[in-house]
C-alpha cells in the first residue's frame, strides 16, 4: 500500500514537474561525467582525452536519459495528457461545434439527472433517518366490498390496538397521520400540517431530539394521554426563532394548549418525504379531544396509517400471515359490536406489508407514475442526444480520414488512435456532464415544486446519489458517442484511404450514420406522439365539465375550533354568514353546502322501490345546499327544475339526481316523479323533481360515481358552516375580503377561512399538465436534435458528392433535378423513422392508456400530425444543403480537390 | 577479467553501497568498481535508471547537496523501507549462493 502510494506520488511529480525533472537528470549525468573526467585528469590524461574516455565509459547519454524517463512511468500518463491536450486544442479550435455538442449532451444529462433526483425521492430512497429500512413496512389491509377488492392503508385506532396486542412477528408498530390542524392563538392561527403519532413512532428513526425529548408511552396512554407537543425543526426556527427555552412553553394546537416538550432535529422528516410537519402530538390526546373517550372502540373511524418493523428472523410472508390473523380477530370484534358488516372470511380480509414509500406500494399516485414515464422520456432524449453527437463526431472523423490514414502510415498504432478519439468523447461528455448538472440544478428547482408540495431544499450538486448518477450517465455518454467513431476510424483500409482520399469515384454514405439518423427520427416520433397525446389529454381535462363553475366559486368556511353551538345557533350562524358574504361587492350568490369536491363528501343510504341493494350500482354522493345552491355553483339542470326557497322544512321532500344516477337506477324510464328514500328505508319519499349534470367530487375519471342534490332545509342535516360563494372576476382576489367579512361573525375562538375552489381541483389536473409540459418540452428537444442531425448528415453528403453532382450538372441535369435528388435521400430516411416510430408508439400505447384522459392512445389525428411535422422538418433541414447542391459549379467541382 | 552482473543484482549492490553513507551516482559507481577489485563491470550509465527506479519504489531518496569538491551533486540515501529491503535481499542472496555452491561442489 505504502509502496503504491509512493509510486503514485513519484509518477505524479514526474508528470507535473516533467521539465524540472529533465533538468535535474541532465545536471546529474553531467556531474557524473565531469567527475569521471576529473579522475582521469588526475591520473595524467589531457582534459580533452579525459572527457572522451569518460563519455565512452558512461555509454549513450540520450539512451540512458530515455531509459530513466521510462522508469518514471510517464508513458501512460503522459500520452493521456497529450491526448487530452490534443483533444482540447481540437475542440477549442471549433468553438461552435464544441458548444453545440456540449449543450446537446448537457441537455440530455441534465434532463436525466433532474428526473433521477425526483424518481429517486419518490420511489427509491427510504425516508431519511429511518432505521432498518429493509425490515420496515407500511401496512395495507385489503378486503372485498360491494364486489370490489379494496385496498386501504387507513385503519381505525382499535385495529391498531388489536394488532399491537396480538401480533407476534413484529419488533415495533406505530400509527400516525398527518392532518391540517389549526396551530396558534387568535388572529395568528394558521392551519398547519401536524403529525398525530403513537409514542412508538419515534423508535423507527435514528434521531434524537435537538432539545427536550420525544413524547413517551405514558403521554400517549389511553384514554386521554397528555397535552404535549414536539415541534418540527423548521417551524421551531420560524415561529420560535430557534430558541432553546421553548421547552415548557405552551402552544395551542387544535383546541387546547399543549406543552412543548421537545424539538425534532433538522432533517427529521418522519415517514413521508412530503415535508416536515409543524409539530407532533400523541394520538390518544388528539383523538380524545377530537372524538371523545369512545374513540378507543370506534372501528368506523379509519384515519391512521400503520408502519411496522418485522423481527429480523421473520419473513415478510410470515409477518403478513400473523397480521392477517390479527386482522380477522379484530374484524370479528368489530362485527360483534356492529352487526351487518359481514365476516372477514366472506370479505377475504388480508393484510399486506408494502414498502414504506407510498409511491412504491399498491396506492402509488398518478404523479409517481408520471415521474416514471418522464424519466423514461428523459432517457430517450439522452439517447437521441448521443446519436446526434456520435453522428457529428463521425462526420468529423470521416472528414479526417486522410489525416488518420497518414498517421497510421507513419506508425501510430490503431490503439493509440482509438484512445485519442475516445479521449475527445470523454472530454466532451465531461463538459456536457458539467453543463448537465447546471441544467439539473435549475430544472430541479422548477420541478420539485411540482412533485414536493412543501418545497424542501433543492439539492442537486450536493446530493451524492444524483451526482453519482450524473457521473454514470456521463460515462455512458462518452462510451456511446465515442465508440462508434473510434471503431470506425480503427477499421478503415489504409491503402485505399490514402489513394482515394475524398475524391472517391463512387459515393457511399456510412451505414452507421444512416442507422443513427433513422434511430433519432424513430425516437423523436415516439416522443412527439406522446407529447400530442398528453396535450390532447390536458385539453380534455381543462375542458372537462366538472358539474360546477370551479373558477367562479370561492370556498369559504368557519373553523369553530371547539366552540359548541346548539342546533339553532348553528343554523343562525349559517344564515348570518350567507348574508355577510353577500355584502362583499362582486358576490352574486351563496349557498351553504354539505359536500365539497376533493375535500369532503357526504353519503346516505338510499332505497328505491323495486331496486334492491342500490349500493351495488355505484357510489352515490349526497350534496345538500341552501336554496341558492344551483345559482351559486352554476350546475346545470338538464330537465325538470332545481329546488328553491319554496322547498322548505315541512313541505314534501324533493330531490334532484344526476343524469348518470337516473340512468343507473331507472335505466330508460323517466326518473322525474320517482320516489327515493334517503337515510332509511322508513324515511318519507323524496320525489325526483329534476335531473342535473354530474358533480365531480372524488375523481375526474371515476365512472360509477353519482351525485344527488337535496335542499338542506327539508332533511335533518346539520350543515357545517362551509359555503360556496359565487363571484364575478378573479376568485383569488375575493379571498381576503370574504375572510375579513366573515371573521366578524365568528363566535369565540372560531376563525374564518377562504380559498378559490379551483385550488382544490388543480392537483387533479396537474398530472396531465405536467405530462403535457414535459412531453412537449422533451419532444420538441428531440425534434430539434433530429433536425440538426439530418441537416448535418445531408450537408456532409452534399460536400462529399460535390464531384458527382458536378458531373450530373455537366451532363445536363437541371438544378431542380439535383435538389430533388438530395432532398429525397434525406426525406426517405425520415420516412423510415416515421414508420418505425409510429409502430413503436402503437405498440407502446397499451401502457399509455392509464395516463390518458378521455383520449385514445392510438389517436390517428396525433399520429398523422406527428408524421407531417417530421416530414416538414426533414424538408426544411435538407432544403439548405439541397440548394447548395443545385448551385454547384461543374467546372469547379470537376477540377477541384 | 570482468564479469557482467546477473539480472537484478545491481539493485542489491546499490542498496548495499548506500547502506554505509549517502552518496552521489558517480561515487556509487566508483565504490562498486573498487570494492569488487575491478572484477565487476557496471556500465556507468545503467546506474541511473536503476537509481530512479529505486527512488520510485521508495527504497532510496534523493537530495541535492554539495560534493567533496564543493559542487552541486545529487545524493542518494536509504529509506527505512530500503534498509528492510536490503536485509531481505542480502539474506536471500546468501541462501541462493550457498545452495548454488553446494550443488556445484556435490555434483
Asked whether residue B41 is domain-assigned, the answer is yes
pLDDT at position A327 is 94
More confident: A261 or A104:
A261
Q: Per the structure block, which three cell numbers stand in for A440?
A: 439539473
Residue of A nearest to B60 (CA): A6
More confident: A734 or A400:
A734
**Residue A29: how many CA atoms within 13 Å on its side-chain side?**
25
Q: Which of B14, B30, B49, B71 is the best residue to mutate to test the A interface, defined by the most A CB atoms within 10 Å of its own CB?
A: B49
Q: Does residue A395 surpass a pLDDT of 80? A: no
Answer yes or no: pTM beyond 0.80. no
Q: Which of B25, B53, B58 sits opposite A32 (nearest CB)?
A: B25
In the sheet where B60-66 sits, what is the strand order? B23-24, B72-78, B60-66
Confidence band of A788 (pLDDT split at 50, 70, 90)? confident
More confident: A875 or A765:
A875
Contact: B44, A58; criterion CB under 8 Å: yes
Report the alpha-carbon distance of residue B40 to residue A206 in Å, rounded.
Answer: 71
Write out pLDDT tens, residues A553-603: 999 988 887 778 888 899 899 999 999 999 999 999 999 999 999 888 888
Contacts with A639 (C-beta within 8 Å, 6 or more apart), sequence order: A672, A690, A691
Confidence band of A501 (pLDDT split at 50, 70, 90)? very low
Report the alpha-carbon distance of residue A672 to residue A609 in Å, rounded.
Answer: 14
Q: Per the structure block, which three cell numbers stand in for A816?
A: 431542380
Write out pLDDT tens, residues A798-811: 877 788 888 888 88
Would you call B37 an interface residue with chain A, using a CB distance cutoff of 8 Å? no
Asked whether residue B18 is domain-assigned, the answer is yes
pLDDT at position A356 is 87
Q: Does residue A286 surpass a pLDDT of 90? A: yes
Asked whether residue B47 is domain-assigned, the answer is yes
pLDDT at position A195 is 94
pLDDT at position A274 is 63
pLDDT at position A652 is 93
Asked whether residue B4 is domain-assigned, the answer is no
More confident: A764 or A240:
A240
pLDDT at position A361 is 83
Q: Show the low-confidence residues of chain B (pLDDT under 50).
A: 1
Would you call B8 an interface residue with chain A, using a CB distance cutoff of 8 Å? no
Confidence band of A454 (pLDDT split at 50, 70, 90)? very low
Asked whether residue B25 is domain-assigned, the answer is yes
For A457, which DSSP code? P
Residue of B nearest to A54 (CA): B44
User: Which stretch, A377-381, A589-593, A717-721, B34-38, has highest mean pLDDT?
Assistant: A589-593
Domain count, chain B: 1
Q: Does residue A882 surpass a pLDDT of 70? A: yes
pLDDT at position A282 is 96
Which residues form the domain of B28? 9-106
The answer to whether A333 and A158 are in contact (CB under 8 A) is yes
Q: Which of A14, A15, A35 is the best residue to mutate to test the B interface, defined by the most B CB atoms within 10 Å of its own CB?
A: A35
pLDDT at position A636 is 94
CATH of the domain at B102: 1.10.10.10
Write out pLDDT tens, residues A305-354: 999 999 999 999 999 999 999 999 999 998 888 777 788 888 899 999 99
Express as a percent the part of chain A with pLDDT over 70. 92
CA A540 to mean position of chain CA atoms? 22
Q: Does residue A202 surpass a pLDDT of 90? A: yes
pLDDT at position A75 is 55
Asked whether residue B3 is domain-assigned, the answer is no
Q: Does residue A379 surpass a pLDDT of 80? A: yes
Q: Which of A10, A59, A71 sits opposite B45 (nearest CB)?
A: A59
pLDDT at position A506 is 42
Report the alpha-carbon distance of residue A529 to residue A123 in Å, rounded.
Answer: 27
Q: Per the structure block, which three cell numbers stand in for A416?
A: 493509440
Cβ neighbours of B52 in A, within 8 Å: 68, 71-72
The 10 Å Cβ neighbour count of residue A4 is 9
Confidence band of A502 (pLDDT split at 50, 70, 90)? very low
Write out pLDDT tens, residues A469-497: 888 888 888 888 887 777 766 665 655 55
Amino acid at each position: 500500500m505504502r509502496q503504491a502510494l509512493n509510486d503514485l506520488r513519484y509518477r505524479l511529480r514526474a508528470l507535473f514537474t516533467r521539465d524540472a525533472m529533465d533538468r535535474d537528470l541532465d545536471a546529474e549525468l553531467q556531474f557524473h561525467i565531469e567527475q569521471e573526467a576529473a579522475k582521469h585528469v588526475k591520473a595524467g590524461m589531457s582534459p580533452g582525452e579525459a572527457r572522451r574516455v569518460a563519455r565512452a565509459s558512461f555509454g549513450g547519454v540520450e539512451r540512458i536519459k530515455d531509459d530513466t524517463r521510462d522508469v518514471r512511468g510517464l508513458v501512460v500518463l503522459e500520452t493521456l495528457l497529450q491526448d487530452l491536450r490534443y483533444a482540447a486544442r481540437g475542440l477549442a479550435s471549433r468553438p461552435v461545434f464544441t458548444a453545440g455538442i456540449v449543450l446537446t449532451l448537457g441537455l440530455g444529462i441534465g434532463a436525466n439527472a433532474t428526473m433521477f433526483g425526483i424518481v429517486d425521492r419518490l420511489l427509491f430512497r427510504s425516508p431519511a433517518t429511518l432505521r432498518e429500512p429493509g425490515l420496515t413496512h407500511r401496512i395495507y389491509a385489503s378486503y372485498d366490498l360491494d364486489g370490489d377488492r379494496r385496498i386501504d392503508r387507513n385503519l381505525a385506532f382499535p385495529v391498531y390496538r388489536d394488532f399491537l396486542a396480538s401480533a407476534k412477528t413484529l419488533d415495533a408498530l406505530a400509527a400516525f397521520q398527518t392532518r391540517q390542524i389549526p396551530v396558534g392563538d387568535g388572529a395568528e392561527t394558521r392551519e398547519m400540517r401536524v403529525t398525530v403519532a403513537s409514542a412508538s413512532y419515534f423508535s423507527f428513526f435514528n434521531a434524537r431530539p435537538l432539545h427536550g425529548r420525544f413524547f413517551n408511552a405514558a403521554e400517549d396512554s389511553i384514554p386521554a394521554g397528555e397535552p404535549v407537543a414536539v415541534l418540527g425543526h423548521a417551524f421551531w426556527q420560524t415561529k420560535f426563532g430557534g430558541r432553546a427555552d421553548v421547552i415548557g412553553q405552551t402552544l395551542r394546537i387544535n383546541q387546547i394548549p399543549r406543552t412543548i416538550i421537545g424539538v425534532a432535529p433538522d432533517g427529521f422528516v418522519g415517514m413521508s418525504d412530503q415535508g416536515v410537519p409543524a409539530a407532533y402530538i400523541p394520538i390518544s390526546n388528539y383523538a380524545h379531544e377530537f372524538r371523545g373517550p369512545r374513540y378507543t372502540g370506534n372501528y368506523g373511524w379509519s384515519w391512521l396509517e400503520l408502519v411496522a418493523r418485522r423481527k429480523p428472523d421473520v419473513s415478510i410472508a410470515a409477518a403478513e400471515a400473523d397480521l392477517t390473523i390479527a386482522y380477522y380477530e379484530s374484524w370479528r370484534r368489530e362485527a360483534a359490536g356492529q352487526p351487518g358488516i359481514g365476516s372477514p372470511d366472506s370479505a377475504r380480509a388480508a393484510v399486506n406489508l408494502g414498502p414504506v414509500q407510498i409511491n412504491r406500494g399498491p396506492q402509488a399516485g398518478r404523479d409517481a407514475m408520471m415521474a416514471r414515464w418522464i424519466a423514461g422520456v428523459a432517457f430517450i432524449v439522452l439517447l437521441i442526444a448521443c446519436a446526434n453527437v456520435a453522428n457529428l463526431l463521425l462526420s468529423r472523423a470521416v472528414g479526417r480520414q486522410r489525416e488518420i490514414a497518414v498517421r497510421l502510415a507513419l506508425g501510430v498504432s490503431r490503439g493509440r488512435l482509438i484512445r485519442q478519439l475516445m479521449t475527445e468523447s470523454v472530454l466532451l461528455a465531461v463538459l456536457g456532464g458539467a453543463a448537465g448538472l447546471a441544467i439539473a440544478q435549475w430544472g430541479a428547482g422548477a420541478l420539485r415544486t411540482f412533485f414536493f408540495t412543501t418545497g424542501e431544499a433543492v439539492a442537486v450538486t450536493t446530493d451524492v446519489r444524483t451526482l453519482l448518477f450524473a457521473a454514470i450517465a456521463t460515462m455512458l455518454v462518452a462510451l456511446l458517442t465515442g465508440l462508434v467513431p473510434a471503431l470506425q476510424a480503427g477499421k478503415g483500409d489504409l491503402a485505399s484511404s490514402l489513394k482515394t482520399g475524398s475524391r472517391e469515384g463512387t459515393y457511399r454514405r456510412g451505414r452507421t450514420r444512416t442507422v443513427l439518423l433513422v434511430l433519432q427520427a424513430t425516437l423523436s416520433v415516439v416522443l412527439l406522439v406522446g407529447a400530442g397525446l398528453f396535450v390532447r389529454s390536458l385539453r380534455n381535462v381543462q375542458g372537462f365539465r366538472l358539474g360546477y363553475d370551479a373558477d367562479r366559486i370561492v370556498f369559504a368556511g368557519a373553523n369553530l375550533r371547539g366552540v359548541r353551538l346548539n342546533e339553532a345557533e348553528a343554523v343562525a350562524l349559517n344564515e348570518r354568514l350567507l348574508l355577510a358574504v353577500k355584502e362583499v361587492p362582486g358576490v352574486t350568490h351563496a349557498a351553504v353546502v354539505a359536500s365539497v369536491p376533493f375535500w369532503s363528501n357526504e353519503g346516505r343510504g338510499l332505497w328505491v322501490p323495486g331496486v334492491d341493494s342500490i349500493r351495488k350500482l355505484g357510489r352515490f354522493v349526497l350534496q345538500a345546499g341552501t336554496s341558492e345552491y344551483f345559482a351559486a355553483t352554476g350546475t346545470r339542470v338538464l330537465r325538470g327544475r332545481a329546488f328553491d326557497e319554496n322547498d322548505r322544512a315541512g313541505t314534501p321532500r324533493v330531490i334532484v339526481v344526476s343524469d348518470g344516477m337516473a340512468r343507473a337506477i331507472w335505466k330508460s324510464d323517466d326518473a322525474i316523479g320517482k320516489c327515493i328514500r334517503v337515510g332509511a328505508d322508513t324515511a318519507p319519499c323524496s320525489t325526483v323533481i329534476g335531473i342535473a349534470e354530474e358533480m365531480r367530487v372524488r375523481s375526474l375519471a371515476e365512472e360509477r360515481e353519482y351525485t344527488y342534490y337535496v335542499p338542506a332545509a327539508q332533511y335533518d342535516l346539520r350543515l357545517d358552516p362551509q359555503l360556496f360563494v359565487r363571484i364575478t372576476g378573479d376568485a383569488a382576489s375575493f379571498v381576503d375580503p370574504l375572510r375579513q367579512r366573515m371573521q366578524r361573525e365568528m363566535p369565540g375562538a372560531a376563525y374564518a377561512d377562504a380559498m378559490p375552489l379551483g385550488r382544490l381541483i388543480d392537483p387533479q389536473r396537474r398530472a396531465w399538465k405536467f405530462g403535457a409540459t414535459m412531453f412537449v418540452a422533451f419532444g420538441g428537444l428531440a425534434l430539434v436534435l433530429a433536425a440538426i442531425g439530418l441537416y448535418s448528415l445531408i450537408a456532409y453528403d452534399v460536400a462529399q458528392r460535390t464531384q458527382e453532382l458536378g458531373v450530373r450538372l455537366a451532363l445536363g441535369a437541371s438544378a431542380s433535378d439535383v435538389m430533388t435528388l438530395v432532398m429525397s435521400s434525406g426525406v426517405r430516411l425520415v420516412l423510415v423513422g416515421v414508420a418505425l416510430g409510429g409502430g413503436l408508439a402503437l405498440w407502446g400505447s397499451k401502457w399509455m392508456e392509464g395516463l390518458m384522459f378521455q383520449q385514445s392512445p392510438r389517436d390517428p389525428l396525433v399520429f398523422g400530425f406527428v408524421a407531417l411535422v417530421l416530414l416538414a422538418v426533414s424538408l426544411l433541414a435538407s432544403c439548405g444543403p439541397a440548394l447548395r447542391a443545385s448551385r454547384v459549379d461543374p467546372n469547379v467541382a470537376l477540377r477541384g480537390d | 577479467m570482468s564479469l557482467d552482473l546477473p539480472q537484478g543484482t545491481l539493485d542489491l549492490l546499490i542498496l548495499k553501497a548506500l547502506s554505509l553513507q549517502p552518496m552521489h551516482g558517480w561515487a556509487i559507481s566508483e565504490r562498486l568498481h573498487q570494492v569488487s577489485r575491478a572484477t565487476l563491470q557496471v556500465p556507468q550509465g545503467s546506474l541511473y535508471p536503476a537509481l530512479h527506479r529505486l527512488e520510485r519504489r521508495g527504497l532510496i531518496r534523493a537530495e541535492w547537496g554539495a560534493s567533496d569538491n564543493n559542487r552541486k551533486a545529487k545524493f542518494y540515501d536509504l529509506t527505512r523501507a530500503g534498509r528492510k529491503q536490503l536485509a531481505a535481499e542480502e539474506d536471500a542472496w546468501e541462501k541462493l549462493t550457498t545452495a548454488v555452491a553446494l550443488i556445484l561442489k556435490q555434483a
